[in-house]
Structure 1
Amino acid sequence: MSAPVLTVRYNGAPSSFAPGHDVVVGRDLRADIRIPHPLISRAHVVLRFDSSVPGGRWTAIDNGSLNGMYVNGRRVPAVDIADGSVIALGNPDGPVLQFETGRHQGAVGRPPQTSTVLIPPPPQPSYAPPSVPSYQPPPFPPYAPPTRPTAPAPTPGLREPGREPGRADAAPTQMSPAQARPGS
């Protein structure tokens, strides 16, 4: 006996799947059965065929969705799918999936493989690009700490105004107004 084909109806539209690949139900554009509803996660439920039991069986597994899946109004993490099963997604009154097993006649859709698609590298040019010399920054001189400016040495013979010659530490002298006038 061959493995049962799973037919899933959402909004009246049937989609049939042969065993061998997981079927993803969710909001994402890449989902095998797309349900564009705000309560539905991108990959909300996974439909998986279990061939380890005699005759095999299909199982619906909540894929860690925020809003879960419901059977008869109760939230469940997983459920075996029988012919005529109904599952609500997102909440008990959310979008409904109806299942048929083994009744399908005709061609069966196969879910796209979800493996990584390898993209070949771009072709290499047939010529060798010119080599560019590497840039070397100029060497810096060794670090020397900044020096403090020093006062210029006094020049002999010059005196500061208001100071008596030969008395560098003396206070400025007071001049009378008569001494300050030239030619007096």
Structure 2
Amino acid sequence: MYNENKLNETARTGRIEVICGSMFSGKTEELLRRLRRAQFARQTVEIFKPAIDTRYSEEEVVSHDKNAILSTPVEHSSNVLLLSSGAEVIGIDEAQFFDMGLVDVCQNLADQGIRVIIAGLDMDFKRIPFGPMPGLCAIADDVIKVHAICVRCGNLANYSHRLVKNDKQVMLGETDEYQPLCRKCYLEVKSEK
């Protein structure tokens, strides 16, 4: 298991760290915590997010708790490579919205000695693996799955249940559009429809 206390934060060893889970599980909060620690250690940090994610801010990565850090919105994963020159640590939020090329980009960055920290949904609202996340989990040095709390029963939640009728895989949303559910409650809600 990943243990940040054992990580020599000044070492120039490339690595890929993935933070995944459902909506409202604290993925972005954990990403921000790790990036701030790297900044505190005076490491050069670059942060990227998909340009389509404008929910809270166009140029910041913002958690649901409203914590924020300045980032660079990009249209394509190849832009991450182009804009990360000189960085020791790269942060990527909402990785599920990127193209599949993100897997190779992250591998390339880690092979250059860069620490890459990625946060994203591992599954969509239908429980289907989302975008490049399965590939990123496969190549990662460390993967942590964080959990929300089920809004129906209080158990750990793995799933992002969509509350509105919309069958598109990509739909930006918050608490009005999604809620975290455990497996049992997710199956109950689906059987009610």
Determine if the TM-score, normalized by the shorter chain, exceeds 0.5: no
Q: Which has the larger radius of gyration?
A: 1
Q: Which of structures 1 and 2 has the larger relative contact order (alpha carbons within 8 angstroms, sep 6+)?
A: 2
TM norm structure 2: 0.24
TM norm structure 1: 0.25
Higher percent of residues as helix: 2
